[in-house]
Amino acid sequence: MIRILLADDQPLVRTGFKMILDAEPDMEVVGEAGDGADAVRQARDLRPDVVVMDIRMPVQDGIAATAQIAAAGHARVLVLTTFHVDEDVVGALRAGASGFLLKDVHADRLLEAIRVVCDGNAIVDPAVTRRLLDQFVHRLPEPGSRDGAAGQERLNGATAREREVLTLVAQGLSNAEIAAELVVTETTVKTHVHHLLTKLGARDRVQLVVLAYEAGLAGRPPS
- Report CA torsion sign: 91, 84, 196, 114: positive
Give a yes or no: residue 223 inside a domain: no
* Per-residue confidence (pLDDT) for residue 66, from 0 to 100: 94
pLDDT, tens digit, 9 for 90 and up, residues 27-69:
999 999 999 999 999 999 999 999 999 988 989 999 999 999 9
- Give the pTM: 0.69
Tell me which of 64, 94, 125 is where a domain ends: 125
For the chain, what is the domain count?
2
29 and 98 share one domain: yes
Clarify whether residues 58 and 141 are in a common domain.
Answer: no
Q: Is residue 172 part of a domain?
A: yes
- CATH no. for residue 142? 3.40.50.2300
Beta carbons of 26 and 2 less than 8 angstroms apart? yes
Task: Render pLDDT for 157-179 as a digit per residue (tens, 0 to 9).
Answer: 889 999 999 988 877 777 888 99
Tell me if 130 is assigned to some domain.
Answer: no
User: Is 65 within a domain?
Assistant: yes
Q: Distance between CA 162 and CA 134 in Å, rounded?
A: 25
Question: What pLDDT score was predicted for residue 219?
Answer: 54
pLDDT digits (tens, 9 = 90+) for 176-199: 889 999 999 999 998 999 899 888
Phi/psi class of residue 159: alpha, beta or left (left: φ > 0; alpha: ψ in -120 to 50)? Answer: beta
Among candidate residues 125, 148, 178, the one where a domain is terminated? 125
Which stretches within 51-145 are classed as H helix?
62-72, 86-94, 107-118, 126-135
Identify the pLDDT of residue 87: 65
Residue at 86 is within a domain? yes
Same domain, 10 and 119: yes
Domain boundary among 78, 102, 125: 125
Domain extent, residue 174, equals 136-214
Residue 77 bridge partners (DSSP):
51
- Looking at the fold, whether 101 and 193 belong to one and the same domain comes out as no
CB 190: neighbour CB atoms within 10 A?
18
Q: What is the mean pLDDT of residues 196-214?
A: 79
CA–CA dist 80, 56 (Å, integer): 10
CB 5 within 8 A of CB 50: yes
In the prediction, which pLDDT does 148 show?
Answer: 46
On whether residue 43 sits in a domain, the answer given is yes
pLDDT confidence band for 130 (50 / 70 / 90): low
**% helix, strand, coil for the chain, step of 5:** 55, 15, 35
Specify which residues 6 forms β-bridges with.
32, 52
Confidence of residue 121 (pLDDT cuts 50, 70, 90): confident
Q: Running DSSP on this structure, what letter comes out for residue 219?
A: P
Q: Are 59 and 38 in contact (CB under 8 A)?
A: yes
In a domain, 22, yes or no: yes
